[in-house]
Amino acid sequence: MKNEFVLLVFFFITSISLIGQELELVDFKSDVTDILAFVDIIEAIDNTEEETQYNSFRPGELWHDNDGEILNAHGGGILEHDGKYYWFGTHLETGHQSYVGVRCYSSSDLYNWENEGVALPVVTNDADHDITAGCVIERPKVIYNELTGKFVMWFHLELRGQGYKAALAAVAVADNVTGPYTFIESLRPNAGHWPLNFTEAQKNTKYDYDIGRYTAEGRQNVVDGRYVVRDFKDGQMSRDMTLFVDDDQKAYLVTSSEENQTLHIHELTDDYLGFTGRYTRVLPGERNEAAAVFKHQGKYFMIASGLTGWDPNPARSAVAEDVLGPWISLGNPAIGTEEQIKTTFNSQSTYVLPVKVADDVYIYMGDRWNPANQLDSRYVWLPLYMEYGKPVIRWRDEWSLEDYR
Ligand code: DGJ
């Protein structure tokens, strides 16, 4: 049905354009490009794709769930629980505002995904609610708390109509992995607490905030911690985020903070619902976001992006002996053509999933954003190799876990 519809549209537009060309009304080449782009969009919007069984990853290709609907879980992460994988991400259609909420899919092989519905819906009957429809919900991640038996979701929240000003971390909880999740609160982490790696001199510095952050003095102030001092009382800014659970079950919220200039790693309380007051600044002034943290052979690794909004940029990586740091930069993990290295294979990191089939191979999960048509924002999952103590990502048109068995 879908193919017939696309073909019909294609022939209709092609005929019009050929008649137009005869009459010298249109430029044929650019018209064909337009038609192809249009067919692409129709493909992405049309949700009536027949059921598809996958047995491989095809990075950047359209990816459908078991009902043939386009997978809609952006900025996502995966929780492995009781032998199944659960993929949580933001449901988006156009723009970056949330009108649906956080969607969940389940899978036992990572290729084929069952739609488990909306795990955390936006609120539609209270315009003042923190997660009212039209707010911004980004990068939701879910972890399981062994102590309480609850599933805990954290995400980046921006209040409706306020752009990216609020910079909040938000938490929701559920008894079942697929939800429904109950919204608890949104907040700026660790109000009234200094980072563990902040000196007395830093705490007592009085900054002149009129000095722009792009002058030499301003940049130095950022590195020294002027935004930490500014936000000490009300809590630290929290934008792009991820969660990480260590082997000892301690969990951490990693956020892009200080006007996105510096990452913060916050230790969570034992129930994962709040902050202990212990947090550190990571790579001060290095302008990282979209962090993904994983552990390999006792060390902590991070993949992150730079700050170019929805456009891709060269990824960064870092290593630490302790999750709270100090973190040491390891450079761009992408290996490939100049263009692939420059754009991280046209993607932005969101998560790194440990794959059990190989000791030194993980899955890099990235988003290829298309904010004008988020149904066409693609997923870029690539093998991430640990080579000589560094994470390395290479392009594969198509690959499977079986390749590493
Ligand atoms: C805001 C950032 O600027 C974007 O790059 C992207 O990471 C989004 N958040 C989605 O999380």
Q: Which residues contact 171 (CB under 8 A, 6 or more apart)?
A: 152, 153, 154, 183, 184, 185, 186, 273, 274
Residue nearest to atom 3 of ligand 1 (CA): 309
pLDDT of residue 51: 53
pLDDT at 357: 72
Residue 155 tokens read as 């995400």
Take atom 4 of ligand 1 and give the residue whose Cα is closest: 309
The CA 146 to ligand 1 mean position distance, Å, reads 31
Residues with CB under 6 A from ligand 1: 75, 138-139, 240, 289-290, 309-310, 348
Mean pLDDT of 199-225: 96
User: pLDDT confidence of 37, banded at 50, 70, 90?
Assistant: very low
> What CATH number has the domain spanning 288-405?
2.115.10.20
Residue linked to tokens 């929805």: 310
What's the rounded mean pLDDT across residues 304-325?
A: 98
Residue 8 has pLDDT above 70, yes or no: no
pLDDT of residue 52: 75
For residue 133, the CA-to-ligand 1 centroid distance in Å is 19
Q: Band the pLDDT of 297: cuts 50, 70, 90.
A: very high
Q: Looking at the CA of residue 164, tell me the nearest atom of ligand 1.
A: 1
Q: What mean pLDDT comes out for the span 181-207? A: 98
Q: What would the mean pLDDT of 209-236 be, rounded to a whole number?
A: 96
Average pLDDT (166-191) is 98
Q: Compute the average pLDDT of residues 88-107.
A: 97
**pLDDT at site 354:** 86
Task: Please determine, for residue 24, whether its predicted confidence score (pLDDT) is greater than 80.
Answer: no
- pLDDT of 181 > 50? The answer is yes
Q: How many CB atoms lie within 10 A of CB 275?
A: 19
Annotate 348-367 with three-state secondary structure: EEEEEEECCCCCCEEEEEEE
Closest residue CA from atom 10 of ligand 1: 138
Q: Is the pLDDT of residue 282 over 90?
A: yes
Select the more confidently predicted residue: 154 or 15.
154
Per DSSP, 397 falls in state S
Residue 176 pLDDT > 50: yes
Q: State the distance from the centre of ligand 1 to the C-alpha of 206, rounded, in angstroms.
A: 31
**369 CA distance to ligand 1 centroid (A)?**
9
> Domains of the chain: which residue ranges?
2-50, 288-405
Higher pLDDT, 28 or 315: 315
Q: What atom of ligand 1 comes closest to residue 290's alpha carbon?
A: 7
Tell me the mean pLDDT in the region 293-298.
Answer: 97
* pLDDT score, position 177: 98
Structure tokens, 180: 């429904």
Closest ligand 1 atom, CA of 75?
11
Sheet holding 327-329, edge to edge: 289-296, 299-305, 316-320, 327-329
Ligand 1 centre to CA of 218 (Å) is 24
The lowest-confidence range among 145-154, 184-193, 205-214, 242-251 is: 205-214
In this structure, the residue with its CA closest to atom 2 of ligand 1 is: 309
**pLDDT tens digit sequence for 139-149:** 999 999 999 99
